[in-house]
Structure 1
Amino acid sequence: MNVTICNPLLRTPLSLIVDDSCPVINLAYYWIQQRHAWKARHQPNIPPDRWEGDAAQLKKIPPTIPADFAWEWAEWCWENGVKGKFSLIPYPAGVGRVDEGFPAQVFEKSQTHEYQSWLRIYREIIWPNFDLTPEMLTHTAVVDLKTFSLTEEWEQVEWVDPPVDNRLTDYIITAMEMLNSVGIPCEGVTSPGAFGKRQEAAYSKAVLAASQEVNNDPRPFYFLWLKHDELPDVPIWHADKEKGIAIASIVACAGDWFGGWTGYDLGNADRFITEDGQGGRLPPILEKELPCVLVGHWPGFYFNGEKLGFDILKTVKSRLDNYDPDRTKTLWMKTSEIGHYWMAREFTDVTILEEQEQINLYTQFPTANFTLVIDAPVRHIQVNGWDLREVHSRRDFQRDTFLCEGKHTYVAFDLEIGETKLVVTV
């Protein structure tokens, strides 16, 4: 009898990452404004690169994104089963701290109500389906933690190669603590741009240390990489198998082809998946049953009030539904759930006691919907003394069930810390 760990519920993970999101503020407006001001101070004779945005477009970009749109977007995701990661930048563009509210001199008085509405939407509608993470502190200039003033360094420029001492850990701790102050403990972090990319080992270690200190979370994740020319994976860093400590790198494979980070660079649904379900980046990844993580940016979904990036998301979701009409191929997951599953997949010991018709598992890495395949037809299965229910189709296959297909049996259950005992009757 052989046992293999499969994808959760025999389905390929799907996830949507939303970057550059924060209450009230349209980050693209302030990012372009501040970056061009920096260029004028430091590189007056060098024209801005394309990645630095087009200042001429600023007149089209509203400085705020209303809570009503956040509600509409989040409600649609909830109703359509879309899950993933959603940023909450703690001190967006240095304009206002989420743990202190935004200063009245920056916004109209009515924006105080908008700010409170935004926080409610984060907690009540977005959080159930999306991990909420800091995207470090400002997503623009690096903050001097002693004075909380903005420096001339940028988080995604100079801190691509960040200091690898306590300053990096303290910086991440500060971001996490600010989210905690508004009742949102995070499950990981998002890199603003290429923050930390040249020091990934030190960066991931700092995120892990910060997560343990602030949230007592030994198994966080971080999002840093978007790779269009490689097959995606879920690399695990700094693992201590016996203590159940590790950090997962969530690697995205597609985007941003919604509305761009600027909110004026419109994408195309065909780049994700074509109408016939055959072309685009996603189908070949899905066919290989690898985690399929899409990336979008909040200003691009809003698209200066036209919501064109949101429309592309709706089209992509509709095409994915057509690709998997009976929901047996794909499973929308939070990014933290993907990280936890891949940790369990890598660090769970499986012992087969064939004569006793028993399978013993041991792990310090719990996860939901842990799925095994046994290369034998099975008539009955118990997990820790609990009888699992037999189902007869992949559509009905869910946690605490088993499914026989020919000479193979699939079994799914929530994996807990410690020992799990499966007793099978063949």
Structure 2
Amino acid sequence: MNATVCNPLLRTPLSLIIDDSCPVINLTYYWMQQWLAWRPRHRPDLPPARWEGNPIVPKLSRTIPVDFAQKWGEWCGEQGIRGKFSFVPFPAGQGRVDQGFPDHPRHLLADWLKLTKEILWPHFDLTPEMLTHSHVVDIKTMSLTNQWEQVEWYDPPVEPLTDYIATAMQLLKNVGIPCEGVTSPGAFGKKKEAAYSKAILDAALRVNNNPRPFYFLWLDDQRPPSVPLWHVQKEKGIAVASIWACAGDWFGSWTGFDRGDPDRFITEDLQGGRLPAVLAKELPCVLCGHWPGFYFEGEEFGFNVLKTVKRRLDAYDPDRTKTLWMKNSEIAHYWMARELSDITVGGASAPRGSRDGDVPPTMPDRVTITTKFPTDSFTLKLGECAARRVQVNGADLRQVATRRDFRSGAFLVEGRDTFVAFPLKEGVTRIETHA
């Protein structure tokens, strides 16, 4: 018998990342206004962005209604979509999530927090997208500086990084949201990823006592995606995971007025687009979109693109045996367990009362897993083992006949192989199979 770690429940992870989302305000409007004031004075060497001069820019909405967020979140919940939703804690410096937005009615923030916790959080990780997603903040005074998080802090100063990220995490914790990770605003930290990821880990330990955070920094719609792990301390159960998006924002763009195209994700015949190629390789398939593009100034264009993409993904996987929607943190924890657990296939343990050399033909085979990285739905292929009974730490798993019915706490026999799935706990797990 041999043991191989498979994708969770033999399905390829799907996940939806939402960037630039924050309570009450439309981040894009304030970001653009600040950029238009900042660039000519501080970085005249930078060429004008393609959106500068567009007559729609000064007409953009200052807010994105909580009613839209509720409709969007409820639909995602009904569809089983999971992923990551940014919750920028001091968006564009317009107000802190733990203090309110002076230019907007106070009840709007309360409504947003209620909606976020009750409807979004069950299906999406909530993360800061650093503090403002525009200007860098002097965290001693909480005032805006002339630097930008995604410009100068593309190559950030290392010394203040941990405190800066910890401040963003703390603002969310102040409103009852201990985050599982962070989102990079633009290219924040990209030039010093080793130091940046270490700062994320240190901040997560300090603020939330979280030894296994994740972060979203990279989007690559050409190369195969991966889940790199940084700063691993295997014996302590410590690591930080980088979640890569494999598809660009083809919903409605961060501007909120550039139209997307569902065919770039997956075509109507289910053959073209980025997603089928990634899914065929059984690699984590993480989509990325920006919140203003889903709202699209009330037209909900990006939301409709998402509905089309979801309908096509359902047609691609009609019996739900190929794909599994997961939060970013769930993917991170699974990959940590997959790569950092010790798995040994040992000889059978003799039944009580048997003598050495007197091994009955029904004697069980054993797999032992030792890990500091727990995860849900840990899935193993036990090769050359057609089991009639499987036990995990002495508890029987339920046998199922098809992949459609394969769930955590079950085992499935296909030919000469047995697949098992169960919650992997920290410590030692023993699997026994009976032929």
Give the TM-score normalised by the residue count of structure 2.
Answer: 0.95
Tell me what 1:246 maps to: 239
| Runs of 5+ unmatched residues, structure 2 | 350-364
**One-letter identity of the residue aligned with 2:67:** D
Q: Confirm or deny: 8 A CA contact 1:350 1:361 kept in the other structure.
A: yes
- 2:142 paired with 1:148: yes
Q: Which amino acid aligns with 2:386?
A: P
- Structure 1 equivalent of residue 116 of structure 2: 122
Q: CA deviation at 1:113?
A: 1.9
Pair 1:391 & 2:400 matched: yes
Query: Shift of residue 48 of structure 1?
Result: 1.2
1:325 aligns with 2:318: yes
Separation in 2 of the partners of 1:256 and 1:142?
Answer: 25
Name 1:220's counterpart in structure 2: 213
In structure 1, runs of 5+ residues without a counterpart are none
For the aligned residues, what is the CA RMSD? 1.1
Equivalent position SS for 2:56 = helix
CA deviation vs aligned residue, 1:44-64 (integer Å, no higher than 9, x gap): 5865123x7555322331010
Q: Distance in 2 between matches of 1:6 and 1:142?
A: 42
- AA paired with 1:300? G
Q: 1:201-244, CA deviations, whole angstroms, 9 ceiling, x for partnerless residues? A: 00000000000010000000000000011100000000011000
Give the match for residue 5 of structure 2: 5
Call closer, same or farther: CA 1:387–1:141 in 2, change over 3 Å. same
Amino acid at match of 1:367: T
Give, in angstroms, the shift of residue 35 of structure 1. 0.4
Give the TM-score, by structure 1 length.
0.97
* Alpha-carbon separation, structure 1, partners of 2:327 and 2:191: 26
From 183, 188, 198, give the equivalent of 1:205: 198
Alignment match, 1:417:
426
Count of matched residue pairs: 419
Which residue does the alignment assign to 2:79? 80
Match of residue 179 from structure 1: 172
SS of alignment partner, residue 17 of structure 2:
strand
3-state SS, counterpart of residue 76 of structure 1: helix
Aligned positions of 1:17-416 closer than 5 A: 17-43=17-43, 47-50=47-50, 54=53, 56-103=55-102, 106-107=103-104, 111-165=105-159, 167-356=160-349, 357-375=365-383, 376-416=385-425
Q: What CA distance in whole angstroms lies between the structure 1 residues aligned with 2:283 and 2:46?
A: 42
Q: Post-superposition shift, 1:355?
A: 3.2
Q: Distance in 1 between matches of 2:59 and 2:241?
A: 38
Preserved contact between residue 9 and residue 408 of structure 2 (Cα < 8 Å): yes
* Structure of higher CA gyration radius: 2
SS in 1 for 2:77: helix
Task: Find the aligned partners of 2:110 and 2:46 in 1 and give their Cα distance.
Answer: 41
The change in CA–CA distance for 1:330 and 1:45 in structure 2 (over 3 A counts) is closer
Three-state SS of the structure 2 residue aligned to 1:234 is coil
SS at match of 1:358: strand
Deviations 1:65-88 (A, max 9, x none): 000000000000000000000000
SS in 2 for 1:424: strand
4+ residue segments displaced more than 4 Å: 43-47, 52-55
| Cα separation, partners in 2 of 1:19 and 1:308, compared to 1, 3 Å | same
Aligned partners of 2:429 and 2:59: how far apart in 1?
58
CA separation in 1, counterparts of 2:48 and 2:316? 41
Distance in 2 (CA, whole Å) between partners of 1:342 and 1:53 is 41
- Residue 41 of structure 1 deviates from its aligned partner by 2.0
Is the 8 Å Cα contact of residues 142 and 152 (structure 1) preserved in structure 2?
yes
- SS of the counterpart of 2:264? helix
Q: Is the 8 A contact 2:135 2:144 kept in 1?
A: yes
Specify the SS of the correspondent of 1:56: coil
Whether the 8 Å CA contact 1:36–1:48 is kept in 2: the answer is no
Q: Distance in 2 between matches of 1:188 and 1:300?
A: 23
Structure 2 contact 220–248 (Cα < 8 Å) conserved: no
Q: Is contact 1:32-1:54 (8 Å) kept? A: no
SS of residue paired to 2:170: helix
2:414 maps to a residue whose letter is: E
> How has the CA–CA distance of structure 1 residues 259 and 147 changed in structure 2, closer, same or farther, with 3 Å as cutoff?
same
